[in-house]
Copies of this chain bind each other. A is one copy, B any other.
Amino acid sequence: MRILLSNDDGYLAPGLACLAKALVQVAQVDVVAPERDRSGASNSLTLTHPLRAQKAGNGFYFVDGTPTDCVHLAITGLLEQEPDIVIAGINRGANLGDDVIYSGTVAAAMEGRFLGLPAIAVSLAGKAGAHFETAAQVTLRLLEKLKPESLPADTILNVNVPDVPVERLAGFEATRLGHRHKAEPVIRTSDPHGNPVYWVGAPGAESDAGPGTDFHAIRNHFVSITPLHVDLTRYTALDQVSAWLRKI
């Protein structure tokens, strides 16, 4: 098996190193990751200027672009052999609920799917980042059992792992994304010249976080596995829109 590994925390992030070390036990691993922390980059793709890829001392490629750029570049020309699967992570911090839309980790996996490959995003649900090893073990176990080719072609797996020792995991759970309340207000402050500047405020509190959601699984120390679309069409609303357009 040949794995393309990327992330959004940058090629020097400990979560990336930890996962790379685990994966080389079972596969050929190519690492192509951003030069610096690009958390929050979402699916942004660089079209305005060309990208550079350099090889670090440890054999990882680093690219002056987004996570999406890294995966795109790797698969469409940088690597000599196409990977069998794309894995993004281990992200430092959870990617749960509504927040996945902003995530560079999830975006890296999505880009793999767009380019025809099975893809998994792996996040460690704890800013402390104490137990990357747990997430690495979980990923190995998923890879061992997973038949990625059996997943629908436009689906990726969003895996969140509790930040606890592996023996304290409660199990695995298939989940849906939970939801948050509206974000907190922006924080208005001033620069030293007295001009107003605005920090994006904190995410809203969890509002839909009961059993079945990824929030709930993590809170109870389950590994949360959420299948995500890469086709954004809301098929169930098509009839409603059609009906409504007939009146225009």
Interface of A toward B, CB cutoff 8 Å: 12, 35-37, 39-53, 64, 68-69, 72-73, 76-78, 98, 100-102, 107, 110, 114-116, 141-142, 145-147, 150-152, 154-155, 157, 172-174, 176-177, 179, 182-189, 191-193, 195-202, 225-242, 244-245, 247-248
Taking a contact as CB atoms under 8 Å apart, the answer to whether B50 and A198 are in contact is yes
Minimum CB–CB distance for A106 against chain B, Å: 8
Taking a contact as CB atoms under 8 Å apart, the answer to whether B100 and A232 are in contact is yes
Chain B residues with CB under 8 A of A241: 157, 174, 225, 227
Minimum CB–CB distance for A34 against chain B, Å: 10
Taking a contact as CB atoms under 8 Å apart, the answer to whether A172 and B245 are in contact is yes
Given A42-B43, A76-B201, A142-B248, output 4 extra A-B contacts at Cβ < 8 Å.
Answer: A41-B42, A174-B238, A174-B239, A229-B232
Q: Which of B40, B176, B191 contacts A235 (CB 8 A)?
A: B176
Minimum CB–CB distance for A35 against chain B, Å: 6
User: Contacts A110-B101, A155-B234, A177-B231: A76 and B40 contacting too (C-beta < 8 A)?
Assistant: no
Taking a contact as CB atoms under 8 Å apart, the answer to whether A51 and B198 are in contact is yes
Minimum CB–CB distance for A81 against chain B, Å: 14
Chain B residues with CB under 8 A of A232: 100-101, 177, 228-229, 232
Chain B residues with CB under 8 A of A244: 145-147, 150
> Which chain B residue shows the least CB distance to A246?
B172
Minimum CB–CB distance for A234 against chain B, Å: 4
A98 to B111, CA, bound (A): 10
User: Contacts A102-B45, A176-B238: A78 and B198 contacting too (C-beta < 8 A)?
Assistant: yes
A184 to B68, CA, bound (A): 15
Minimum CB–CB distance for A18 against chain B, Å: 14
Taking a contact as CB atoms under 8 Å apart, the answer to whether B98 and A47 are in contact is no
